[in-house]
Structure 1
Amino acid sequence: MPEEKVQAVINTGREIVSSGLVAGTWGNISVRLYDETLLITPSGLPYTELEADDLVVVNLDGEVVKGRLKPSSETRMHTAIYRQRQDVMGIVHTHSPYASVFAVTHKCLPPVMEEMAMLLGGTVQVAPYQPAGSAELAAAAVEALADRSAVFLANHGMVGVGPSLEEALLVCQIVEKGALVYLLSQLTGTPQLIEEDQVRELRRNYLEYYGQRKV
């Protein structure tokens, strides 16, 4: 297993705990490997205790390729997203408080800030409720995610995806911030939305021009 990917999963696990995106052992993290397999967190192990040997390699059918522990109970959802989205290289599933408000009320989150439009690619939709770990939840998540970077899971939590595990984590952080801003803004007035054509332009500019490109 590539050492940098192993370390990225371990670091992400510590970050989602320290930033309050999960409590206990809830949530899960994965990163795509180079050979159509993925590295995923084990089921029920605290993120602060994760070591390299605890991580599990599974193929895109969810079969364990390497590892001594049972993989995350949401392995079906991770593999379904990777099969559907070739651009996705990392997935983070969290149960953060403000995102969960939208998950339990079955409300979508529009991109009310530029960073949301740039990173998320549009409104965060809600996947209809299905039991955790089920094939039905995996299918619902893929459909509601579509070509965007985040999706709420009804009465459950949220999922962030990205071209790297670092960006998938950032997606979760931006959704949590955006959810808080949207909720607080309703106390002082009516949130003003960014027009759809402007959202598309912001997203396009982010994908094409933002940040430092490797040469």
Structure 2
Amino acid sequence: MLHLQISDARKLIIETGLALAERKLILGSWGNISMKIEKDCFAITPSGRSYDQLKPDDIVIVNAEGVKMAGIRTPSTELKMHMALYKAHPEFNVIVHTHSTYACAVASMRKTIPPFIEDMIQVIGGPIRCAEYAIAGTEELAQNAVVAIGNNNAALLANHGAVCCGKNMRETLNVASIVEKSAQIFCITEQMGGAINIDAKTAKILRAFYKEHYSKRQAGEEL
């Protein structure tokens, strides 16, 4: 994925923003998207711009230290979180921060979504943990997100939303959709006495199967 053209990254980010809005995973200017262009450089959505109004030049290019290199806007207020996650996880090439309804509901309860759905285990890697609360845009929130994600692909942000990561846009959009679906099922099953979790041994098999047979297929796909 490295050495992606800036114009291609900007186009993909805008298209993904519209897809997230269509799926009701974001609303208005809330949430943010970033994508690596090179090892120490990534594109990120600007602060305070609705996704249906974004133009290529609105997408900001920053280096690993968060210094703006190109773009006419100010980077997203969650820039620090994106920087921290890329630093902690070099395998991540895309990060999406959503404010979807059920993910926000569970995040407001500050609960972890347990591993009870197969696709959640396969794609996300296990439970969707909730990061400790911190004010949006702070270094504290950035570090809390890193801790909550651990070795998985997503986490909830207490009283805020969710952060979803992946190797490419397609995978990360899928992660965001599964987070919301899992949160919705969690809310429903909590009212019915609680779901029965998938055991750790089976979860390990499911995750390994996905990584071997599905994740690798996306390695050469357009991001």
- Asked if these proteins are the same fold (TM beyond 0.5), I'd say yes
Contact map agreement 2:94 2:165 (CA 8 A) in 1? yes
Q: Residue 130 of structure 1 corresponds to which residue in structure 2? A: 134
Matched position secondary structure for 1:33: strand
> What residue identity is the alignment partner of 1:107?
K
Tell me, in whole angstroms, the C-alpha distance in 2 between the residues paired with 1:151 and 1:89: 16
Q: Which moved more, 1:183-192 or 1:48-57?
A: 183-192
Query: Is 2:93 aligned against 1:51?
Result: no
| Matched positions, count | 215
Q: Choose which of 64, 82, 85 in structure 1 pairs with 2:68.
A: 64
Residue segments in structure 1 that go unaligned for 5+ positions in a row: none
Structure 1 186/105 Cα, relative in aligned 2: closer, same or farther at 3 Å? closer
Residue segments in structure 2 that go unaligned for 5+ positions in a row: none
Q: Residue 94 of structure 2 corresponds to which residue in structure 1? A: 90
CA offset digits 1:33-64 (Å, max 9, x no partner):
12410100000001011111110000111111
Q: Residue 199 of structure 2 corresponds to which residue in structure 1? A: 195
Tell me, in whole angstroms, the C-alpha distance in 1 between the residues paired with 2:207 and 2:107: 24
Contact map agreement 2:36 2:93 (CA 8 A) in 1? yes
TM-score scaled to structure 1, two decimals?
A: 0.95
Q: Residue 105 of structure 2 corresponds to which residue in structure 1? A: 101
**Identity of matched residues, %:** 37
Q: Choose which of 141, 155, 160 in structure 2 pairs with 1:156.
A: 160
**How far 1:189 moved relative to its partner?**
4.5
Matched position secondary structure for 1:69: coil
CA offset digits 1:153-196 (Å, max 9, x no partner):
10110000001122111111001011111222334443111111
Structure 1 128/188 Cα, relative in aligned 2: closer, same or farther at 3 Å? closer
Matched position secondary structure for 1:62: coil
